[in-house]
Structure 1
Amino acid sequence: MEANIANWIILGISVMVLIWMGFKTNNTVVKTSSDEGGFLLAGRTLGPFVGAGTIVATGFSGWGFMGSPGTAYAYGTTELLGNFFFGFSMIIAVLFIAKFLYRRALKMGSLTIPEFLSQVHEGTDKEKRTVQALASVITVVLLSVYMVGQVKALGLLGGTWLGISFEAAAVLMVAIIVLYTSLGGMAAIAWTDTLMVAGMSISAIVICFQIFSDIPLMDLIAKLREIAPAHIDPPTAEPYGSTKGHMSMLVPYTLMFSAVLPYMSIRLMSFRPDVKAHQCALIAAPVALLLSLVPIVGLYMRVRMPGLEIADNAMPMYLQNFMPPLIAGVITLFILFAMQSTANSVLHVVASAISHDLRKAINPNKKLPHKKALSFNRIMVVLFGGISLLLMAFAPPYMLNLIAIIGTGTLNAALLGPLLISAFWRGNAKGAIAAMLTGFVVCGILMAQGGLGWIEPPIYASVVSVIAYVVVSKMTAKAGQGVGEPTHSMA
C-alpha cells in the first residue's frame, strides 16, 4: 500500500510537469504560429537536442522496454542484435534523410507525410487527392493497430505499478497523453519526449548496473548456455526469420522503421532550418546505443526466473523482484514515459491524418480559419484516444513486439516507394497509389497466412510494392511528369 501511494505521488508530480510543458508549448509555439504548422510540425522549431531526444524516445518505446525484454526472454540474443540495428538506423535517418525531407516539405508547404506524398507526385488533381486520402486512411488503420499495442503495454505495467486494474490504468495513461498532446501538438510531444528519454537513459544505466553487479557478463553468458544454449547461439533468426541468413533482413527493416513510418519521419520535417544533421546524430547515437542494451533484462530473467508463462512479463517481474521499491517505482515511471513517447506520436499523426489530410483531400477548396483548424486537430486527438481504448478490448493475445510489427511493418511496405524510393527515383501519382495498395494488401495476406518470421512479410511486401511503384509509374507516365527523376533535383 505504501509503495502504491509513493507511485501515485511520483505519477502526480510527473503529470504536472507534462501538462506544464503542454501549456508552455501551446503559448510559445502553437499560438504564435499563423497556420496549422505550429500544431502539426512544432512550427519547424526543433533544435538538435530536442530533435535527437524526440527521435530516440519515439523509436525506443513500449516495445523497447516491455516487448523487447519479453522477446529476448523467449528467443535470446537475436533481439539484442535487432535493437542495435534500430539504434544504428535512427542515426542513418538523421544523417541522410532528415535534410531531404525538411527541404522538400518546406519548399512545397507540406505539413504531414500524406500531404508530402500528394505534392511530390505529379498527376491530375483527383489523383493527387487520392494519394493524400489513401495515405491518410492506411496510416489511420495501421497505426491504430500499433496504438493498441502501446495502450495495452501502458495498462499492463501501469496497473501493476499503481495497484489498479489493467483497464483503469489504460484509461488513466491515455487521458494524460491526450491532455498534453492536444495542448501543444508536436512541440509538446518533442519537449516531453526529451524529458522522457533522459529518464529512459538513467533507467537503462541503473538496470545494467544491477544486472552486471549480480551476474557478470561472462557468467551470464555461461549460465544461459547451460539452460538455454539456443539463446546464446541461435540456430535461426527467430522470431524474425527461420534461418540465420534472415538476420540480415533486420537492417533494411530497421532503416524503413526510422525513415518511412509517418510518426518517425514527421520529426525529420520539424527541425529548425539551421540544425546540422551531424549535431543531432552525435547526440542521438550514444543514447540509442545505451537504450539498445535494455533487452539484457530478458536474458537475465531467463536465468533468474526461467518459468515465466508470459514472456512480456519479464520487465515487470524484474522490477518487482530485483529492484528496491522506490527505484523500481521511478524506473517504472520512465518505462511508462517510453511507452507514452510513442503513443503520443501515433496519436498526433493519426489525428492529423484525419483532421488535416482527409479534410483537404475530400474538400480541398474549403479553407478553415486557423483557430477552427486547430480546434479540429485537438478534437481528433481526443477522439482517437478514446477509440484506441475501445480497440484494445478486441486486441488478440499476441506478444507486444508482434502487434507493433503488424502495424508498422505493413505501413512500411505501403509507403516505402512513394516516400523513400522517390528521393532517388520519383514515380507519379498512379504509381504511388499502386504502391500503397500493393504493399498494404500483400503484407496483410502474408501476415494472415503465418509461417514466416515477423519481419519477412513487410520485407517481401516492400519489394513487391516498390516494383509496382516503378512499373505503374512507367506505364502511365506522361510528358512533363519527371518520372524517373530524383525528387531532390526538383526545382
Structure 2
Amino acid sequence: MGDILWTNWAILLASFAGLIWLGWRSSKTVVGESEDESGFLIAGRSLGPFVGASTIVATGFSGWGFMGSPGVAYEFGATELLGNFMFAPAMVIAVLFFARYLAGRAEAMGSCTIPEYAARLHAEGGMARVVQGVAAIITIVLLLVFLTSQIKAVGILAAGWLDFPQDYGAALMISIIILYTVLGGLTAVAWTDTLMLMGMLLAAVIISVQIFADIPPAELVERLREISPALVDPDTSRPYGEMKGAVFLVLPYAFLFSAVLPFMAVRFLAFKPGTKFTRTTMYVAPFACILSIIPVVGLYMRVKVPGLEQADLAMPAYLNTFLHPVFGGFITLCILFAMQSTANSLLHTVASAASHDLRRALFPGRTDARTALNINRAAVVVFGLVGLMMMLFAPPFFLSFLGILGTGTLLATLVGPIFVSSIWRGNAWGALAAMFGGFCTSGGMLLFTDSGWVVGPLTGCLVSTVLYVAVSVATARIAPRVTAV
C-alpha cells in the first residue's frame, strides 16, 4: 500500500511540474507579448483548430462527466448514458454554426469577454456599462456555484487517491490551478486542457475495455433489468424531466451550453482569425463521442456494488475495486485532469468577469496594460480561494445538480443577449429584462420544483427569449439599437 501511495504522489507531482511549465511557457509567449488584456483574457486570439477543439471538449466533459455523470447513471440508470451522448452533436453544431459568427463579431467590436460582448452589442455609454455589470455579477455568482462543485469533486477523488483528508485534496488542487492560470491566463488554460484531454481519452478507452471485457453490453443490460426494469426502460427521463422523451431536450440544452455559457463561448473568441471551423469539428466530434461512454461506469457499479452509500462514489469505488493499482492511479490522474479542465475555465471566467467586466462597468477610465494584467491575476487568486472556502462550508449536495443549477441558470440568463441577438438584435432594456427573467425562472424551477434538470433551464431560456424581444420592441423609441458593427 505504501509503495502504491508513493507512486501516486510521484505521478501527481510530475503532472504538476508539466502543468506549471505549460503555464510558464504560455506566459512567455502570449501574456508577456500582449499590448492589452486580450493576451490574458482570450489567449491573444491565438488558438488553432486542434488546441481549440481540445479545450472546448475538455471543458465540456469534466468533473460532472467523470464523477457526477457516473453517479447519476448509478442512481437513475441508462437515461444518463443517452443524455451524456447528446453533448457530442451539440458541441459540433455550436462550433460549426455559431463559433465563426461570435468570434467575428466580438473581434470587430474589440470584446474580450462574453459580458462585454453583450454590452457593446446592445448599448453605448452608461447603458452598456449597466448591461456589462449585471452580466458580470450574475456570471460571478452562478459560476462560483459551479466552481464549488468542481472543487468538491477534485477533493473527493484526490483524497481517496492520496490517502489524506478531502479538504486538503481540494486545497492542493485549487492551488495548482491558481498558479498556472495566474501565469498564462486563457492560453495556459487551453494548453493544459489539451494535455488533460489526451489523458481523458486514454482513460475512457481503458475503462471501456475493462468493463465490456468483464460484462458484455447485452449481459449488462439484462443484469440491470433484473435489478430494476426502470434502469434500462424508464417510464420517465428523471432527472432531466418527468416525460419519457425529456432526455432529448439535452440536445438543445447542450447546444446552448456550448454556444452561450461564458466559460465555453469565450473559447470561440480565442480562435485565430481565419480558422477553419469545419476542421475544428473534425476533432470535436470523435473526442466528444469517446468521452460520452463514461457514464457506463455507473451502470457497471450498480450491478457489481449495488449498495453504495452515495451515488457520487461510483467512480472512486470503481477505480479502487476493479482496476489494477497502476491503471487506477493513471486514470485517477486523468480524471483529476478532467475536473481541473473545467475548474480552471470557471476560475478564469469568474476572475475575468470581476477584474475586467465589473471593473470597466464601475470604473470606465482607461487602465494601462500592466496594471490591468495585475488586477486580472489577483482576481484569479482571490476567487480561487473564495471557491475553496465555499466548498469547505457548503452543506452536502449532489455534484451534478449543483453544476446544473449554476450553468443552467446562467444559460437561461444569457441566451437572449448572446444567442437570440445573432438572429434578431434588441436593445439594452431587452437584454436586461432577458437576464433577470431567465435567472429567476431557471433558478426558481430548479430550486423549488421537480420539473427536471433541463426543463427548468430551457423554460428559463424561453422566458428570456420572449422578454428580450418583447421589451426591446416596447422600448425601441426610448432605447434605439446600436448601429451594427
Q: Distance in 2 between matches of 1:245 and 1:304?
A: 29
Equivalent residue for 1:335?
335
Superposition map of 1:234-249 within 5 A: 234-249=234-249
Per the alignment, residue 60 of structure 2 pairs with 59
The one-letter amino acid of 1:409's match is G
Work out whether 1:195 is the aligned partner of 2:195.
yes
Tell me which amino acid in the other structure corresponds to 1:418: P
CA distance in 2, matches of 1:296, 1:193: 24
Aligned to 2:109: 108
Match of 1:158 in 2: 158
Deviation of residue 182 (structure 1)? Answer: 0.5
1:79 corresponds to which residue?
80
Which residue in 1 is equivalent to 2:446?
447
Q: 1:181 to 1:439 in 2, by over 3 A?
A: same
Looking at structure 2, the residues matched to 409 and 361 of structure 1 have their Cα atoms a distance apart, in angstroms, of 25
Cα shift readout 1:84-133 (whole Å, capped 9, x = no counterpart): 111211111110111011100100000000100000013x5221110000
Partner of 1:465: 464
Match of 1:361 in 2: 361
Q: How does 1:82-481 map to 2 (within 5 A)?
A: 82-122=83-123, 125-364=125-364, 366-478=365-477, 481=480
Deviates further, 244-253 or 263-272: 244-253
Normalised TM-score (structure 1) = 0.97
* Misfit runs of 4+, over 4 Å: none
1:29-68 residue pairs with structure 2 within 5 A?
29-68=30-69
The C-alpha deviation readout for 1:18-52, integer Å capped at 9, x for no partner, is: 00000000000111111100000000000000000
Residue 31 of structure 1: SS of its match in structure 2?
helix
SS at match of 2:452: coil
Distance 1:293 1:249 in 2: 19
Secondary structure of 2:393's partner?
coil
Q: Which runs of 5+ in 1 are unaligned?
A: none
TM-score where L is the length of structure 2: 0.98
Superposition deviation, residue 454 in structure 1: 1.6
User: How far apart in 2 are the matches of 1:45 and 1:356?
Assistant: 20
1:479 CA displacement: 8.2
Task: Confirm or deny that 1:10 pairs with 2:11.
Answer: yes
- The alignment partner of 2:238 has SS state of coil
In 2, Cα distance between equivalents of 1:298 and 1:63 = 13
Partner Cα distance (1:237, 1:466) in 2: 25
Amino acid at match of 1:423: S
Match of 2:26 in 1: 25
Distance (whole Å) between structure 2 residues aligned to residue 101 and residue 396 of structure 1: 38
CA shift, 1:397, in A, is 2.0
Amino acid of the structure 2 residue aligned with 1:235: D
Task: Kindly report which structure 2 residues correspond to 1:472-491, keeping only aligned pairs within 5 A, or say none.
Answer: 472-478=471-477, 481-482=480-481, 490-491=484-485
Q: Which amino acid aligns with 1:236?
A: T
Question: How big is the shift at 1:72?
Answer: 0.4
| Paired residue total | 484
Q: 2: distance between equivalents of 1:60 and 1:466?
A: 27
- The alpha carbon displacement at 1:482 in A equals 4.5
Q: How many Å separate the matches in 2 of 1:87 and 1:247?
A: 14
Question: Does the residue aligned with 2:306 lie in a helix, a strand or coil?
Answer: coil
Which AA in structure 1 matches 2:300?
Answer: Y
Alpha-carbon deviation of 1:193? 0.2
